[in-house]
Amino acid sequence: MLTPLLKGVTRLHNRVLLIPILTVILGLSGCMVSPEGRVYRREPRPEPRPEPSQEPHPVRASEIEGLWFLNAGNATGRLEFFRVRGILTGRIWFDAYRRWEELTDLYIDSRTGHLHFTRPGAAEHYSGTLIRNQMTGEYRARGLTYRWEARRETESAALPRIDGLWTLYAGNASGRLEFSWVRRALTGRIWFDAYQRWEELVDLSFDPEAGHIAFYRPEANEWYRGTVSGSRISGTYTVTLRYPWEGRRETRPTRSSEIDGLWIINAGNASGRLELYWSRNTLAGRIWFDVYGRWEELTDLSYDRREGRLEFTRPHGRSERYSGRLSGDRVSGTYSVKGPDYLWEARR
């Protein structure tokens, strides 16, 4: 009778001893022994992470559009990206050549930030990745590969700007100048108070680094040249003799700042721009549709500040009458074309 009892105690004792033995074995499985006999803890192997350049980075349109400082190999310059009728386009400038060159085969993956484009004039193919305010990548030229990078041109605000309205003094005549960029080309027009009409300018050129501006007024055969310095342009114009002229940034009345300026417009399914401004306390404006590629003058403009109500007529073509209401940075309303009404809206 004693023998079965001793066997049971022995089995219980063995089970008790088995628990710490298993604990030690499992612990050693996470360790390794060096040739010197030292025991090291084996750390779990981390999962491989993709390189930062491989990690997806969603890209918004605002992250690619605009001016960038460029360094390609040892050459410095600028990159500019913008949209024309919804299609991303761009151009490149090298300080050594001092001219803009159009880019081709431009593409950016909005999910990853990967982009590529071609500089056809030199047969250079660029590829890289956009992450926030920096682009980095490589380009191939004559069979060799070089590094390039670009960063957001935050310093561009210090460069002279020409677009907008200017008060004009030319000789003894007063008026206004207006400049705007259309598809990367500088356009402009001139107004003299004595004539009470706008005249289109031609042969415009502007160097933002030097601040030099030049244009031609064909109706009077006058050539204008000047230099932009802050909110002032000064120079001379030639019509047989040479005379001084200057322009000053036009400060608009506070009461009108809520409606005047440049707006992005969508009327029906047509996109474009709407520009409104005050002329001798009278609201004036013009409209641009991308599909036509030209500015059209508006007529019968009125704005009720108390109600925020805007009305105007686009006389060209089918004589469209627009009406809308201002709410913050948005105007929305309807326009009529031979009876039916359609929706339109404009945003700053």
What CATH code is carried by the domain that includes residue 117? 2.40.128.20
Helix (H, G, I), strand (E, B) or coil at 2: helix
Q: Are 311 and 230 found together in one domain?
A: no
151 and 69 Cβ atoms separated by less than 8 Å: yes
* 278: in domain: yes
Q: Of 206, 229, 249, which one is at a domain's C-terminal end? A: 249
> What's the one-letter identity of residue 302?
S
Q: Are 263 and 341 found together in one domain?
A: yes
Q: Are 285 and 266 found together in one domain?
A: yes
The tokens for 36 are 């010197």
Q: Are 269 and 185 found together in one domain?
A: no
Count CB atoms within 10 A of the CB of residue 58: 10
* 24: in domain: no
Q: Of 156, 180, 215, which one is at a domain's C-terminal end? A: 156
Q: Are 183 and 171 found together in one domain?
A: yes
* 303: in domain: yes
Which residues, 6+ apart, have CB-to-CB distance to 88 below 8 Å? 64, 65, 81, 82, 106, 107, 108
- Number of independent structural domains in the chain: 3
Q: Are 245 and 264 found together in one domain?
A: no
Q: Of 249, 264, 294, which one is at a domain's C-terminal end? A: 249
* 8: in domain: no
Q: Are 119 and 171 found together in one domain?
A: no
* 31: in domain: no
Q: How far apart, in whole angstroms, are the C-alpha atoms of residue 288 and residue 187?
A: 13
Domain extent, residue 87, equals 57-156
Q: Are 230 and 274 found together in one domain?
A: no
DSSP 284-322: EEEEEETTTTEEEE-EEEEEETTTTEEEEEE-STT-EEE
Q: Are 235 and 276 found together in one domain?
A: no
The tokens for 278 are 């005050």
Q: Are 242 and 313 found together in one domain?
A: no
pTM listed for this prediction: 0.39
* 25: in domain: no
Q: What is the pLDDT along the chain (348 residues), one digit of tens a residue?
A: 545 544 554 554 555 455 555 555 545 454 444 444 444 445 455 545 444 444 555 666 567 887 888 999 888 888 888 776 667 788 898 888 878 888 999 988 888 889 999 999 889 999 999 887 889 999 998 889 999 999 886 544 445 678 888 999 998 889 889 888 765 678 888 989 888 888 999 999 988 878 899 999 999 999 999 999 888 999 999 988 899 999 998 754 434 457 877 888 988 888 888 888 776 667 888 888 888 888 888 988 888 877 788 999 998 767 889 999 888 778 889 988 877 788 888 887
* 15: in domain: no
Q: Exposed, middle or buried, 321 (CB in 10 Å: 0-12/13-18/19+)? A: middle
Q: Are 245 and 319 found together in one domain?
A: no
Q: Are 214 and 291 found together in one domain?
A: no
Evaluated on CA atoms 297, 300, 305, 306, the torsion sign reads negative
* 52: in domain: no
